[in-house]
Each structure stands twice: as structure tokens, then as C-alpha cells.
Structure 1
Amino acid sequence: MFSLDQENISTSPASTKGPVKYGELIVLGCNGSLPSGDKGRRKSRFALCRRNKSNGVKPSTVHSSCTPQAAKAVSNKEQHSISYTLSRAQTVVVEYTHDSNTDMFQIGRSTEIPIDFVVTDTLPGGQNQADDQAVQSTISRFACRIICQRNPPFSARIYAAGFDSSKNIFLGEKAAKWRMQDGQMDGLTTNGVLVMHPRHGFSQGSKPGVWREMSVCGNVFTLRETRSSQQRGKTVDSECNELVDGSLIDLCGATLLWRTADGLAHTPTVKHLEALRQELNAGRPQCPVGLNTLAFPSLRRKDVPDEKQPWAYLRCGHVHGYHGWGGRRDPAVEAEQQERECPMCRTRGPYKPLWLGCEAGFYVDAEPPTHAFVPCGHVCSGMTTAYWSQIPLPHGTHAFHAACPFCIQPLGRESGCIRLIFQSPLD
């Protein structure tokens, strides 16, 4: 079995010291770990490594009618197959055969054995559905599968839907499905698997790409009118289902970031982020009113503000220590939503504690933390806030909006980020 132990994974696909790593999937809205803690296959990031024995599959025989061979393929728990129900009287079954050149990884909400990476709905503020079972999940139990080439260049391709415990995928009558020119079938899952590839890589010069939908066979389409419409979008022949560094995968309830092994090798590490934190604190930033020294808490502490916690007025960027004055009490507005007046410039706006972004995989560079997302207060480099502020992330079944990658909270309409203004010590 392949290892889930991230400490023993080599950072370069070409490395011979340990298992070859194809890349990692990181859940947006998790600032370093799940709110309830990373446990087993349910975690905030998942490494895809070359397996000791390949388990990839590829399409082979197509059964266009309910023949004994088709029935055998569906009932055989050692045989992968996809069933396309066209009507009560007709089901097309496509057999899949073993592919020794690829490894398959499956992602979904189900905790059954075929799912390698269990993903639950991520709610704004860094919560996940485990904290609120009243919310009905829109993530498919067997949402998608990623097929990785076992040999260089170790390409990874994404396909909608995953095989269940019986090694079957069933597309019912209501699912969008069609026959292709070569006789093979294809289709879309209920809420779909959306993918966005960034332009110019995942770096300081990155720009958002266009959201597309991936089919069961890995073909690319424009988005449907609504997430679950039976009418598919238009075919996009000029694009493919190969993931690139920085590709975003939306499962209708959770969004994942794909980082290649090579991309991660050029990404800041948690140690680097810790060094930047210590350097920032070594500058002894002060509250310009109370003149007390401020300090960002350790990366492990990201819940309750302490007495040295930096706070900021997120419309002007002035950094202060916490103080309880400057707000006009409005009984109709919750305390967290109350706007405050900055004592430095008299600008009114959100007044929030600042937290460092701990998930290194979200950074597009290794520069110091100088900017904060608005209105959540997560702090990282300027280029990183600029990049994520441009990306319209799927929200619900039909809306899109930019959000902080660390907590998935929607960003402010005027500006999704602000440059922070620190007061240096006067002595």
C-alpha cells in the first residue's frame, strides 16, 4: 500500500530517496489543518504518491445492450465498469481494464475503502460540515478520480465520478449523458466537477483561468446554465483534463488546490513562514495609541487572540493592539460586524484580529506578510492576496465570489485585501 505519511515523501518526482510524489491536494478554507483535526483519510491536505503496484484503469469493451456479458461486468466486483442508463429498457455498460502505466486516486465524501481522500463541505470561517450536521452535503460520495502517469513527466488527469466499493459507476436516467463519435459513452455527474487552470503557472505572475466542467471520460466543457442542469455545456476541444500547478478543483461544497511536486519544491515551507513571523515580531511593532509591543502568535495558535495580538482597521490598514472604544453601538448589528473608527486617520471600517496564513501551499511567493484579506484578517504576502482576490470561487450551485483561501470567507466588495501599516517602536 502507498504511504499517507507526508514526512517520508520526497519533494521531487525525480528523487530516488523515498516514494515518488506526483503532487498534493489542499482543501481551501483549512489554514494548516481541519478544524476538528486531521484524522486518517480526512485531512486538510493529501499527497498523491506512486503506489507499489499500479491500480489505474482504462476503458475497453462497450456493451450497448443488456447482454449477459454486460450484466457480468456490472456484478463482477473485480471488474471496473461504468453504466449509463439511457432508459428503463436500455443501459450501456463500458468495461474498464487494468492499466499498468497509471495510478488512480479517488476523492469524495464517502468513507468507503475506494475513497483515498475523504472531503466534507467547507463552510466560511474555516468550519467543515462535521461541525454542523444539519447542513445537507452537496459533495458527491464518489466525486472524482485522478489518474497519474507512473513514469515521467508524471502527468495527472482528472475525471468526474469515482468507482464505488463494487468498482462501478452508475449514471442514472436523469444524469446528462451522450454517445460520442467513436462509440464510447460520456456523461456528467449531478453537481459536476469544475476545474480552473491558472494562466502563467502558480507564481507571482499568475492570473485566474476560466472555470470548466470535466466529464466522466475527462472531456472539457463550458459550464452548464445551472450546476445540475441536464443540458451539458459546449465542448472545449482546445483544452484538456491534465492538472497543472495551481489548478483548482471544485466539488460543489469544497474546493481543492492541486500543487505539483515541482511546484511545492519552490513553495515556502512552514519553517520559512515561522521565520518570517519571528522576523516580523523582532521588529517590535507597537500599538500607536497604547504604545504596547505587538506580536503575532505562533502558527499553531489560530483561535483565541491574546493580549499582544495585532488588530487592524481593515479599511485603512493601520495596525493596533486591541481596544474596546471607537465603535458606535448598533443593537441591530452583531458585535463582530460593528465598524470602528481608526484613531489614526478617522476611517471607519472592520476592526479585526490579524492571523498569519499558515498553509504554505496557498502562497504564490515567499515574500514577507504585508497584506491582509478583508474582512477576515488573514495575513500573507502582497502577491498572494492580490492573486486570490482575483479568483471567483464557486459558491453554492450557481454563484461565484472571491474568498480568502485560509478560511473561505467571502472578500469585501470594494477591495479584497489591504496593505498593513505597522508603527515602529519610538525608542
Structure 2
Amino acid sequence: MVLDGGSDAVTALELDVPRSLDRSPTPNSQEIIKDPVKYGEFIVLGYNGSLASGDRGRWRSRLALYKRPNGNGVRPDVVHITSTPLASKALSNAEQHSVSYTLSRSQSVIVEYTPDSNTDMFQIGRSTETLIDFVVTDAAPGNYPTGEGRGPQSTISRFACRICCERSPPYTARIYAAGFNSSKNLFLGERAAKWRTPDGLMDGLTTNGVLVMHPVHGFSDHSSPGTWREISVCGNVYALRETRSAQQRGRQVENESNVLQDGSLIDLCGATLLWRTPEGLDKAPTLKQLEVLRQEINAARPQCPVGFNTLAFPSLEQCHVVEQQQPWVYLSCGHVHGYHRWGSRPEARGSTAGSERECPLCRRVGPYVPLWMGCEAASYLDVGPPSHAFCPCGHVCSAKTVKYWAHIPLPHGTHDFHAACPFCGTWLTGEKGYIKLIYQGPVD
């Protein structure tokens, strides 16, 4: 996947394959064609498998990173302490990657970066410039953004972060805060948190920060939430600041690194990304397997216990459209029904999905919502039956999957954390954040 600009760079992104595969085969490219090296995939939480307007080019709900034909990585080299006029001259050199740290109006430190052919660099951010490999937009909890999300209220940085992958096994992927702009410069202004490192270099943090959480024991039902950390421009690990944009950095965490693991979460202050390794994805279910699960539960012909009509989950392609046979659930008890109008509480009459209803079977009162299949396969821990649903959104998946995500705190705002549904981003509610579904019929 080469992204140096040009129309074929976009084509490579749309196909999720290296651009070298679009060329005529040569003796040296046969190995790439047969077995392209895949570093891993990023999945943006909250989109349930695709953007509302459809995945297009670099605007996607997930993106695979492949080995490039030639390494485009960079590493720090020469450090300059200079005045502002000289700094401006140095930054105008579009052939040289550099990071500029403004210490005052009269002094800047410029760290020049030299090419590193041993690594591949990928950039993520809100900017639509061609040097951004993965354009990420803001996603409000429970909503699907329209368009490309380039509104002025976005809290995602235009050049949010960069990923550097080693081109040799084991293809280690590392994350760094901030990315280079079209002039190959990374600029930290006077107000940005920055400091000198023991080795004589500079380091700093971006305005809203790049947070990373590595789950303990990886992405599995045996894992537990790790601790959220902040990643610096140089890839060092720090404890969180008091608030997201505070100028005082947290303490450095020496025994942790910026190496991404299967299940690592990256928060860009407006969007959270899940990193899956090729080994992890091999164990994850496929869309075909999710479709089989949907067909199996529909084949069991679950019934509404009151209306006695047969219920059926809509196809994965129609996972946002309420259909006549759609199953609905009372979140207070888990009893699954077809849609009906009875049982509304007097104070909630006139409202629809999510209103307070009284379950006809057990008389418990609570929200009454439609059920949907979770369509983003990479968010699943296993291929277990769709037996549980997140509260209050009603997205259905396996028991291990709901229990895992219900214990993962995701950043929100400047210092809050909330567990959320990975399929739509809605904050979880209730005692557990999920409910076991109780069907009427053979599927019980």
C-alpha cells in the first residue's frame, strides 16, 4: 500500500492491497503478489462495519496496512537550536522531514529526520491531504457521521499520529503522536507540552494527546483492561495528564512501550481505533460466519410470546433498517418480543424506541429497543451464538464479546471514561451494560 500521492495510491487504499499488485508482474514482484505482508488492521469503533455513506478510498471504517515496495520510514538525526528566521528557512525544505519545537518567540529546536529504509510509515488524521493514509472522522456516540466530518468542531488532529512498522519479521508496529504535514514538518507550538530528553533530543505531546491502552493478555476472553497511557512525539510512554490538553506532562512509564499488540486501543480524542494483528484476525470470525449465525437463529423461528408472530434478524446489509419481523427486547429482563404498542408507561406515551415499557411476561419496566446484529467481525472475541445484547443500543453478539467490551473504559472528553458498544459507540447503561436474551421457542 504505497501512498506517495497520485490516483493509483487511492486505488490501492480502496482495494486494501499493496499498490505493487496493480502493476504488471515481474520476477522480483512475484513473491509480493502471492503473499503480501500484512502488518495488521485498524478498526474505528462505532461504525459497525462500514461508514454510513459507504467506505470510499481513505475514508473507511477499517484499513489494512501492507508492506510497501520500498521503506518510507524516518528516524531522528540532527538537532539544531536556532532563531525563528532560521527555523522558518529550515522548515521550508520540503525534502527534509523535521520536527520543530518552539521554545519561545526567539528560539526553536529543530530535529531533522533521516530516511529509514527498514521501516514503513503510515499516517492517520483528519486531514484529507494525500500524505494521510487513513482519514479518520469524529463519531458521536450512537450516531453515524455524514460526509467526511471536516467540520470546525472536530477534536481530532489533522495529523493525529503515525505508525511505523518494521519491514523484517516479526514486523513490529509502533505508534507515535502527531504526523508530518505536506512540507514534511511536524510543528509543536509554544504552548505545546515539550521537554528535553536525557539523550539530548526533544520530545513533546500534541494538544489533545494520543492515548493508547494495551489489554492485559491480549484480545481474548481471558484479558482484562490495561491502563490508558499517552504516547509522545518520540514514541515514549507517559501517564495521563490531569486533563486532556494540560501543558504539564504525566510521569514517564519506563517499563511500557509504544509497540502495538493485538487488541490495542488508540484514542485520538474524537475517535477510537482498535488494532488487530494478522494472527488475531485469523482467530476472529468472518462476515460469512456472522451471516451463518444470523441464519441459524432465524431458522429456529423464534416467536413473539404474545403476538405469536415469527421473528427474524434482518440481513447484515440491512442492519440499520427496522423491519416488520425485527426482534425487540425489554432491556430490564431480556425477554424478546416482536414490536407492539402495549405496555407503555403513562409518562412515556408518545415515544418509541428506548421508551419505558412493561414486559408482558414478567411485568418488569424498562427500555424497549430493537435488536441488531453486530456486523464488525473484528470486534468479536469468538464465533459464539448471538446470545447477548448491549444496553441500551440492542446490538447483539456473543457472550464473551459483550462481557469483554463492557469492562473496557473508553476515553470521553477531557478526563472521563465510559464503557461503550463497539458497534455504535453508545455508552453502556444498566448494572452490567448488557443483557442475556430470552427467546420464546427452540432457540432458548
Q: TM-score range by the shorter chain?
A: over 0.9
Match of 1:24, SS state, is strand
**Match in the other structure for 1:423:** 440
Superposition deviation, residue 365 in structure 1: 1.1
What's the CA shift for 1:347? 0.8
Please give the secondary structure, in 2, of the residue aligned with 1:349.
strand
The yes-or-no answer on 1:90 pairing with 2:107 is yes
Q: Distance in 2 between matches of 1:132 and 1:157?
A: 27
Counterpart CA distance in 1 for 2:99 and 2:142 is 38
- Where does residue 4 of structure 1 map in the other structure? 13
TM-score, length of structure 1 as denominator length: 0.95
Aligned residues: percent identity? 66
Distance in 1, matches of 2:258 and 2:365, equals 46
1:333/1:221 Cα in 2 relative to 1: closer, same or farther (>3 Å)? Answer: farther
1:56-135 superposed matches below 5 A: 56-66=73-83, 72-128=89-145, 130=147
Shift of 1:70: 5.5
1:260-309 deviation digits (Å, cap 9, x = unpaired):
11111111000000011111111111111111111111001022211111
User: Post-superposition shift, 1:415?
Assistant: 2.0
Deviation at 1:16, TM superposition (A): 7.1
Counterpart residue identity of residue 42, structure 1: W
Q: Deviations over 1:3-41 (max 9, x none)?
A: 32556579xxx9972421100000000101011211110
Q: Which residue of 2 aligns with 1:304?
A: 321
**What is aligned with 2:25?**
none
Does residue 272 of the first structure (1) align with residue 289 of the second (2)? yes
**What are the Cα deviations for residues 230-268 of structure 1, in whole angstroms up to 9, with x where unaligned?**
000010001000000000000000000000111111110
Q: Is the 8 A contact 1:146 1:156 kept in 2?
A: yes
- Check whether the contact 1:121–1:129 (CA below 8 A) recurs between aligned residues: no
Distance change (3 Å), C-alpha of 1:155 and 1:421: same
Matched, 1:315 2:332: yes
8 Å contact from structure 1 (residues 123, 408) kept in 2: yes
For the pair 1:222 / 2:231, whether they are aligned, the reply is no
For residues 246 and 130 of structure 1, the distance between their equivalents in structure 2, rounded to whole angstroms, comes to: 28
Which amino acid is the alignment partner of residue 77 of structure 1? Answer: A
Q: Structure 1 CA distance, aligned partners of 2:352 and 2:314?
A: 23
- 1:240 and 2:257 are equivalent in the alignment: yes
3-state SS, counterpart of residue 23 of structure 1? strand
Aligned to 2:341: 324
d(CA) in 2 for partners of 1:153 and 1:147?
Answer: 13
Give the Cα–Cα distance (whole angstroms) in 2 for the partners of residues 393 and 315 of structure 1: 24
1:364-398 deviation digits (Å, cap 9, x = unpaired): 11111100000000000001000000011011222
| Residues 267, 366 of structure 1: 8 Å contact kept | yes
Residue correspondence of structure 1 range 61-210 to structure 2 within 5 A: 61-66=78-83, 72-128=89-145, 130=147, 136-210=153-227
Q: Unpaired runs of 5+ in structure 2?
A: 3-11, 22-30
- The CA deviation string for residues 17-70 of structure 1, in whole angstroms up to 9 with x for no partner, is 242110000000010101121111011001111011111000000012239986
Q: 1:425 to 1:392 in 2, by over 3 A?
A: closer
- Out of 46, 61, 65, the residue aligned to residue 29 of structure 1 is 46
> Using a 3 Å threshold, how does the CA distance of structure 1 residues 15 and 411 change in structure 2: closer, same or farther?
farther
Q: Output the CA distance in 2 between the equivalents of 1:398 and 1:100.
A: 39
User: Separation in 2 of the partners of 1:424 and 1:176?
Assistant: 60
The code of the aligned residue for 2:436 comes to R
Letter in structure 2 aligned against 1:271: K
1:281 alignment counterpart: 298
Equivalent pairs counted in the alignment come to: 423
Q: 1:39 pairs with 43, 56, 67, which one?
A: 56
TM-score by length of 2: 0.91
Distance 2:433 2:169 in 1: 39
Comparing 256-265 and 71-80, the one that deviates more = 71-80
In the TM superposition, what is the alpha-carbon distance from 1:413 to its structure 2 partner? 3.9
Q: 1:295 to 1:6 in 2, by over 3 A?
A: same
Q: Who is 1:378 aligned against? A: 395
Structure 1 match to 2:310: 293
Query: How far is 1:187 from its partner?
Result: 0.1
Partner SS for 1:243:
coil
Q: In structure 2, do the counterparts of structure 1 residues 130 and 63 end up closer, same or farther at CA, with 3 Å as the change threshold? A: same
Unaligned runs of 5+ in 1: none
